[in-house]
């Protein structure tokens, strides 16, 4: 009896002890999550409550001092770069480990490993796009050509790894506890992968859609609806800039045959509308204090933990501060004692597609001119949580990986498209930032940029010595007109990219006469630039608003520049609404609700401030009208892209009776006015519904800006309904899910004054008080002080840590 009782109890104890240690269905293991000493309860502690005065870190040559200011921004004081980046790796991992690992997993196509089969399709796509392939080539490039930089990247990885090694269960980031996995060691390869992740986030192409449209609309209508240059061109490099180089010649093949069939494959995910950025610099002659002022605000998907992590990085030779990307070395957008710089995306059709003709079923060779070239096979092993390993064979040609084939997103056996992308070439973007961090003048800035390949960026520059500059840097293939706008025949060698535009011929400007430089993702240059420039997604509104303001401003102060970053002027509405009201005529004029809405629209000053109602009315009316006009585009049955808002407004204004507005399906002749009126009726209905169901339709309530945790299912860790203005196409580009992910303004006087903010917080831990503490300030257009600190400067210090090497 005694034995039986004991055996029963011990069995029960072991069983319970075991049951609470394993995942139950989709739930994570119970006790590791709930134990107050190891589980999520521990993640309630904020970083200042866990401050350490001293940390042992191997491989340091000298002790390193880290001072955290009141916002938990670390200021690292090291005696050389290798120590500096080792500690940058350690400190970043301490605050953002889960995020940096998660993002590189996403870039490597390894999400299914932790979340299961739901991510398998996404992982296959990522791998077929060859992001990991690109990062491997990048690493090979460093090993062969830049061992010195590789040493720094290795030091960073070592810093991250020393943190991971000493990581206790209690300090494990919350997301690991919930998703039940552990961090893996970091490596230089992962730092490079992160930069590929950025490339992927920022680069799109519409070659598939254009190929289809070319077939459906014909070239003439295509050129009219998707013009290469807009009427109101206000490019990045000031119009009329004289190009002082002899262009490399390129000849367009005499005969071009495009693959002719309409293509029904799911296009690659595109960067979301609203992904873009602003940057500018004004010369001392335009500012109150006579110092150049530089501003930058990259617009990206609004996420928590924030994409950016602020830091100051100091050695005896340089001191730089600004926004870093967790996982990459140095500061990405920032300033030092001599210069400031910032980035915006410089999209320019960097991806092209080639149709591949295989010799036979085995896919071992493909046609290229008169010969058959051998392919290479890369077998992607995708581990899937809770399921067997998924093997995906990707065929590589000399162009690049075949993304679409019979096993992936194609319902036809003979459809094979290879992707050619500059991100697949060995390159050294990391070097650009390491050099830029130390740059002292315009020459250093240019030297740093020479290493940058992808994703192409507009690099703005200003220096204490008074220079302002802009350079559009990337590795740009030299294309003949229309090359790469459509899918091309990979069997025809004439379709190849022939060469690249030399770095020194990339568009750039130094101290232009207008005394400012600026970029907002618009066309890079005017028609005088000797090379073919094309992209579907160029901005038409933010750039003009920005340049109009900068042209008319003088005696500029830092506060003016902050106000401009937060400028809510809705230029698209200002141009479209009068035309729409005109076309509406007296439609619905006896409807009370319509009268009320129309009055609000007519009284509007075109600012999309959060409490305004008119922006909502315009936004809904515009979108309904736009859909009315381009409805038939959705009925083509193949992927296409609609003309831009800008082009649509031009058509409404200039040819309201034109044939594009007429539907072929009806006998009657439709004009612009019909679409505007139908749009208005739909808006009326939608707004009445909204008022009944949601109540207030003020702009902020309608657009509902939310800052989402990287795992969308973790809703409680997101911030919903942020009260803030702006929107897509507005300088303050804050829409529902996108917006200024970082705002910085720097005045380069004798003493540099700097300000910055981003919608998040320094900590990646949702339980920490530093997780989202910047959001309210960001939403109100306020900034944090970002002045450089010296080691002795002890004002508003949260805590300090000294890193010492084990003897």
- Residues 72, 761: contact at Cβ < 8 Å? yes
The answer to the question of residue 2 lying near other proteins (CB under 8 A) is yes
The answer to the question of residue 706 lying near other proteins (CB under 8 A) is no
Residues 715-734 interacting with other proteins (rule: CB under 8 A):
715-717
Rounded CA-CA distance 29/382 in Å is 24
The answer to the question of residue 178 lying near other proteins (CB under 8 A) is yes
Q: Which of 500, 714, 723, 799 binds other proteins (CB under 8 A)?
A: 714
User: By CB under 8 A, which span of 43-51, 312-320, 568-576, 720-728 interacts with other proteins?
Assistant: 43-51
Strand partners, 355: 417, 489
User: By CB under 8 A, which span of 42-50, 279-287, 372-380, 620-628 interacts with other proteins?
Assistant: 42-50
Residues 46-65 interacting with other proteins (rule: CB under 8 A):
46, 49
The phi and psi torsions of 415 (rounded to 5 degrees) equal -95, 115
User: Residue 33 or 265: which CB sits closer to other proteins?
Assistant: 33
- Residues 318, 336: contact at Cβ < 8 Å? yes
Nearest distance from C-beta of residue 2 to other proteins, angstroms: 6
**Structure tokens that stand for 777 in this block:** 């300030």
Nearest distance from C-beta of residue 47 to other proteins, angstroms: 12
User: Residue 81 or 175: which CB sits closer to other proteins?
Assistant: 175
Number of residues that bind other proteins (CB under 8 A): 41
Q: What is the DSSP secondary structure assignment for residue 242, as one 8-state letter?
A: P
Strand partners, 472: 458
User: By CB under 8 A, which span of 202-210, 353-361, 419-427, 712-720 interacts with other proteins?
Assistant: 712-720
User: By CB under 8 A, which span of 13-21, 89-97, 104-112, 686-694 interacts with other proteins?
Assistant: 13-21
User: Residue 6 or 377: which CB sits closer to other proteins?
Assistant: 6
User: Residue 5 or 388: which CB sits closer to other proteins?
Assistant: 5
Outline where 180-277 has alpha helix (H). Answer: 188-202, 207-217, 219-225
**Structure tokens that stand for 546 in this block:** 């920005």
> Number of helices and strands (H, E) in the chain?
22, 31
The answer to the question of residue 38 lying near other proteins (CB under 8 A) is yes
Nearest distance from C-beta of residue 25 to other proteins, angstroms: 13
User: Residue 137 or 179: which CB sits closer to other proteins?
Assistant: 179
The answer to the question of residue 17 lying near other proteins (CB under 8 A) is yes
Q: Which of 397, 339, 367, 660 is nearest to 489 (CA)?
A: 367
Residues 767-806 interacting with other proteins (rule: CB under 8 A):
767-769
Which residue matches tokens 């690493």?
Answer: 139
- Residue 330 Cα to chain centre, angstroms: 18
The answer to the question of residue 179 lying near other proteins (CB under 8 A) is no
- Residues 529, 690: contact at Cβ < 8 Å? no
The phi and psi torsions of 117 (rounded to 5 degrees) equal -60, -20
Q: Which of 694, 731, 696, 687 is nearest to 611 (CA)?
A: 696
The answer to the question of residue 170 lying near other proteins (CB under 8 A) is yes
The answer to the question of residue 24 lying near other proteins (CB under 8 A) is no
How far are the Cα atoms of 143, 146, 196 from residue 426, in angstroms, in the given order?
A: 11, 12, 11
Strand order in the sheet with 417-421: 402-404, 417-421, 351-355, 488-489
Rounded CA-CA distance 652/674 in Å is 11
The answer to the question of residue 180 lying near other proteins (CB under 8 A) is no
The answer to the question of residue 10 lying near other proteins (CB under 8 A) is yes
Strand order in the sheet with 303-304: 303-304, 705-709, 719-722
Q: Which of 23, 31, 113, 359 binds other proteins (CB under 8 A)?
A: 31
Nearest distance from C-beta of residue 34 to other proteins, angstroms: 5
Strands 516-519 and 276-282: antiparallel
Q: Which of 12, 118, 447, 797 binds other proteins (CB under 8 A)?
A: 12
User: Residue 4 or 379: which CB sits closer to other proteins?
Assistant: 4
Strand partners, 358: 366
Q: Which of 766, 770, 774, 778 binds other proteins (CB under 8 A)?
A: 766
DSSP H or E run through 780: none
The answer to the question of residue 167 lying near other proteins (CB under 8 A) is no
The residues binding other proteins (CB under 8 A) are: 2-3, 5-6, 9-10, 12-13, 16-17, 20-21, 27, 30-32, 34-38, 40-46, 49, 169-170, 174, 178, 714-717, 766-769
């Amino acid at each position: 009896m005694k034995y039986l009782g004991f055996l029963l109890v011990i069995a029960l104890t072991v069983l319970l002890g075991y049951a609470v240690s394993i995942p139950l269905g989709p739930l994570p293991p119970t006790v590791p999550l709930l134990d107050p000493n190891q589980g999520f309860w521990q993640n309630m502690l904020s970083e200042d409550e866990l401050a350490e005065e001293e940390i042992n870190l191997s491989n340091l040559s000298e002790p390193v001092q880290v001072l955290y200011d009141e916002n938990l921004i670390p200021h690292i004081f090291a005696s050389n770069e290798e120590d500096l980046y080792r500690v940058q790796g350690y400190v970043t991992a301490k605050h953002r480990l889960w995020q940096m690992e998660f993002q590189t997993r996403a870039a490597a196509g390894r999400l299914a490993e932790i979340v299961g089969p739901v991510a398998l399709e996404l992982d296959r796509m990522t791998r077929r796009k060859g992001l990991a392939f690109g990062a491997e080539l990048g690493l090979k490039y460093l090993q062969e050509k830049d061992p010195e930089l590789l040493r720094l990247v290795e030091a960073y990885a070592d810093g991250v790894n020393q943190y991971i090694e000493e990581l206790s269960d209690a300090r494990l980031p919350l997301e690991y506890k919930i998703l039940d996995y552990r961090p893996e060691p970091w490596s230089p390869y992962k730092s490079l992968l992160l930069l590929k992740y950025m490339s992927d986030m920022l680069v799109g192409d519409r070659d598939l859609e254009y190929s289809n449209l070319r077939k459906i609309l014909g070239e003439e209508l295509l050129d009219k609806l998707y013009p290469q240059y807009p009427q109101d061109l206000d490019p990045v490099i000031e119009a009329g800039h004289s190009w002082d180089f002899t262009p490399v010649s390129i000849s367009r093949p005499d005969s071009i045959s495009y693959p002719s069939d309409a293509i029904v494959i799911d296009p690659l995910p595109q960067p979301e509308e609203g992904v873009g950025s602003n940057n500018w610099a004004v010369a001392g002659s335009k500012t109150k204090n006579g110092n150049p002022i530089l501003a930058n605000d990259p617009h990206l998907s609004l996420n928590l933990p924030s994409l950016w992590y602020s830091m100051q990085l100091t050695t005896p030779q340089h001191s730089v501060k600004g926004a870093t990307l967790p996982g990459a070395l140095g500061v990405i957008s920032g300033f030092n004692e001599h210069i400031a710089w910032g980035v915006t995306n410089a999209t320019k059709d960097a991806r092209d597609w080639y149709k591949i003709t295989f010799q036979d079923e085995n896919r071992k060779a493909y046609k290229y001119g008169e010969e058959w070239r051998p392919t290479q096979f890369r077998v992607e092993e995708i581990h899937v949580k809770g399921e067997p390993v998924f093997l995906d064979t990707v065929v590589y040609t000399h162009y690049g990986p075949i993304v679409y084939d019979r096993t992936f997103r194609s319902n036809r056996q003979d459809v094979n498209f290879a992707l050619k992308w500059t991100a697949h070439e060995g390159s050294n973007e990391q070097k650009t930032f390491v050099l830029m961090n130390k740059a002292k003048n315009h020459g250093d800035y240019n030297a740093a940029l020479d290493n940058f390949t992808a994703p192409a960026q507009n690099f703005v520059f200003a220096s204490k010595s008074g220079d302002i500059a802009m350079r559009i840097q990337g590795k740009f293939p030299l294309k003949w007109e229309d090359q790469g706008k459509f899918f091309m025949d990979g069997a025809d060698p004439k379709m190849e990219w022939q060469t690249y535009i030399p770095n020194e011929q990339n568009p750039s400007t130094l101290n232009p006469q207008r005394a400012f430089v600026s970029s907002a993702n618009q066309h890079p240059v005017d028609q005088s630039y000797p090379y073919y420039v094309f992209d579907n997604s160029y901005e038409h509104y933010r750039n003009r608003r920005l340049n109009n303001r900068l042209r008319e401003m003088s005696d500029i102060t830092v506060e003016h520049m902050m106000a401009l970053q937060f400028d809510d002027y809705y230029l698209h509405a200002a141009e479209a609404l009068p035309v729409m009201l005109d076309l509406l005529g007296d439609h619905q004029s006896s409807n009370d609700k319509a009268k009320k809405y129309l009055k609000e629209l007519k009284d509007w000053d075109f600012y999309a401030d959060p409490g305004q109602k008119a922006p909502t009315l315009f936004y809904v009316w515009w979108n309904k009208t736009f859909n009315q006009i381009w409805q038939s585009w959705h009925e083509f049955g193949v992927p296409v892209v609609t003309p831009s808002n800008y082009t649509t407004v031009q058509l409404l204004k200039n040819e309201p009776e034109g044939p594009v507005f007429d539907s072929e399906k009806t006998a009657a002749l439709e004009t612009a006015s019909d679409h505007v009126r139908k749009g208005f009726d739909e808006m009326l209905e939608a707004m009445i519904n909204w008022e009944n169901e949601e109540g207030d339709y003020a702009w902020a309530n309608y657009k509902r800006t939310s800052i989402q945790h990287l795992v969308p299912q973790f809703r409680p860790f997101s911030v919903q309904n942020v009260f803030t203005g702006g929107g897509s196409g507005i300088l303050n580009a804050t829409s529902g899910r996108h917006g200024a992910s970082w705002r910085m303004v720097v005045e380069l006087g004798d003493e540099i004054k700097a300000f910055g903010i981003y919608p998040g917080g320094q900590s990646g831990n949702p339980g920490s008080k530093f997780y989202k503490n910047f959001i309210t300030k960001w939403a109100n257009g306020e900034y944090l002080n970002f002045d450089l600190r010296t080691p002795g400067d002890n004002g508003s210090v949260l805590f300090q840590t000294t890193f010492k090497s084990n003897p």
